[in-house]
Amino acid sequence: MFQVNDMVLYGTNGVCKVVDIDERDCGGRMVEYYILKPIYALNSTVFVPLKNEKLTSKMRYVLTKEEIDEKIRSISKEHEAWMDDERERKEHFKDMVSRADTFELIQLIKMLLEHREKVMERGKKLHVADERMLQEAEKMICDEFSYVLGIPKEEVPSYITSSMRENVH
């Protein structure tokens, strides 16, 4: 169970602080909620019912620097094949993003960037849905990595790229 002041990652909301655990009236019955404040969307508040396993499963503690570096090291050894079926690919990517698993998100970003490079060589653009997934995955990774590493979000992609290069040599 998470505690007040814990820093968590919550799905596509990014890094959030658990600011309270409170009961609220929900249709005539009292429901206990985690109350989260996304650190990069200060005007937002997210309510996550404690007893809703589907929603609470999207919450996890933010990674440490060591865990981030380990995820990056392991991704450089993995390679997932591109799916040509657009509908199947879109569903697969949506699942990856919804799980908010750092390893999968980095893998997704790497795969989409490599594919974007290939299609650009042929004078084409990345499919709109793929571009959207890339932006969503990058936002999630950049939010967490920026917070944990204490670097600006814009520097996160180069941090990942240089860390992956170090592991190849």
Nearest to 73 by CA among 165, 169, 136, 164: 164
Q: What is the CATH number of domain 7-61?
A: 2.40.10.170
pLDDT of the chain, 169 residues: tens digit per residue:
899 999 999 887 889 999 999 999 888 899 999 999 999 888 999 999 999 999 998 899 999 999 998 888 887 665 677 888 889 988 998 888 877 788 888 888 888 888 999 999 999 998 899 999 998 888 888 889 999 999 998 899 888 878 877 765 4
Are 68 and 148 within 8 A, CB to CB? Answer: yes
The CATH number of 65-168 is 1.20.58
pTM value surpassing 0.85: no
What dihedral do alpha carbons 150, 153, 155, 160 form, nearest 10°? 90
The segment(s) of the chain belonging to CATH 1.20.58 are 65-168
